[in-house]
Amino acid sequence: MTANLHPPIFDGHNDVLLKLYRAGGVSAAASFLTGCAGAVDVPAAKAGGFAGGFFAVYVPSPTDLALKFEEMTKPEYQLVLPDEIPYADAIPVVMAQSAILFEMERLGALKICRTVADIRAAMAAGIMAAIFHIEGAEAIDPDFHTLEVLYQSGLRSIGPVWSRPTIFGHGVPFRYPSSPDTGDGLTDTGKRLVKRCNDLGIMLDLSHLNEAGFWDVARLSDAPLVATHSNAHVICPHSRNLTDKQLAAIKDSDGMVGLNFAVAFLRDDGKMLADVPMSQMIRHLDHLIAQVGEDRVGLGSDYDGAVVPQDVTRVSGLPVLRDAMEQHGYGAALIAKLCHGNWLRVLEKTWGG
Ligand SMILES: [Zn+2]
């Protein structure tokens, strides 16, 4: 079977925009079309059947977490989270990364999708379908003026925190072994953000929230609960993963969880080491499916933001994972749901028609 006969993959998380921002900003966008030496670009996507996904805008901290990956190879670790990033520092970075995304669209590399119909049309036309997502809401002011403007320009998904604190709440530190129950949840402003996102039809991503914040959203939100890139805590007891109780809440809300390829969240030992077999990814998928059901699991690769298993280091390698699903006994209908169908389902419920 060639890659093109496999169901296309729509993915819950990538950090391509951060990579291009660091590579020179808007002027680096063109390299996405020809090949930009990372995990995701147009040639690799065509080779691997990568049809699109969530493109995260993310404001890096002065101390890059990637520098701490070494620390995450130890048997136990607890990384100190960077300080809160002020609004005034976050805005120019969010504008720059958003501009890169718009430049990529202008160059014909992708289509920024505002509805599920947009995603279906882009996939049918063979154009990469991108969701404009913000990971960490540092650039959102408490009166939601920037939220409104970003929504009007195409923003459809937001994580109230990327692990470090914001005015909206607290995230999980990178800690192994650890429960995700690591501190206070949403602030009052964060609770208002949930309501505002519900009103606008912006998806809330729970992946970096701590457990208290997760339950705050579960109580307040009228949308399905979605964790775009998180794994099963019972297999890998990392603070970033979801307990069975959290997974039950996702199921009850008819939400969704995307399998994170980051090896520290896949491995039983929580180490940031790439020698992870496909069978370990399948173990997580099996457990997630058992907990939330076949209609509520997808992929959330974290490509260009994490160390991933050696057999799927780029999107061109994705057929290896699909083959592993097939060999494990997943049928064609289930594989199609895991690869893209479930994302479209939950987005339709979250955004409306
Ligand atoms: Zn993330």
Contacts of 39 (CB under 8 A, 6+ apart): 14, 16, 301, 303, 304, 308, 313, 314, 315
CA 135 to ligand 1 centroid distance, Å: 7
CA 226 to ligand 1 centroid distance, Å: 13
Q: What is the pLDDT of residue 67?
A: 62
- Helices (H) and strands (E) in the chain — how many of each? 14, 11
Q: Which of 118, 45, 53, 43 is nearest to 339 (CA)?
A: 53
Query: Block means of pLDDT (10 residues each) for the chain, length 353 residues?
Result: 71 98 96 92 97 98 75 93 95 98 98 98 98 98 98 98 97 96 98 98 98 98 98 98 98 98 98 97 98 98 97 97 98 98 98 81
Given a contact cutoff of 8 angstroms between Cβ atoms, the answer to whether 3 and 290 are in contact is no
CA 107 to ligand 1 centroid distance, Å: 27
Q: What is the pLDDT of residue 317?
A: 97
CA 305 to ligand 1 centroid distance, Å: 8
CA 291 to ligand 1 centroid distance, Å: 22
Q: What is the pLDDT of residue 1?
A: 41
Q: What is the pLDDT of residue 65?
A: 63
CA 199 to ligand 1 centroid distance, Å: 24
CA 48 to ligand 1 centroid distance, Å: 22
pTM exceeding 0.75: yes
CA 162 to ligand 1 centroid distance, Å: 6
- Which numeric CATH code is attached to 8-351? 3.20.20.140
Q: What is the pLDDT of residue 3?
A: 44
CA 283 to ligand 1 centroid distance, Å: 21
Q: Which of 183, 230, 225, 202 is nearest to 131 (CA)?
A: 202
CA 207 to ligand 1 centroid distance, Å: 7
CA 344 to ligand 1 centroid distance, Å: 20
CA 231 to ligand 1 centroid distance, Å: 12
Q: Which of 118, 134, 101 is nearest to 51 (CA)?
A: 118
Beta strand pairing call for 175-176 and 77-78: antiparallel
Q: Give the DSSP letter of residue 330.
A: -
Q: What is the pLDDT of residue 64?
A: 65
Domain ranges within the chain, ordered by starting residue: 8-351
CA 1 to ligand 1 centroid distance, Å: 33
Q: What is the pLDDT of residue 136?
A: 98
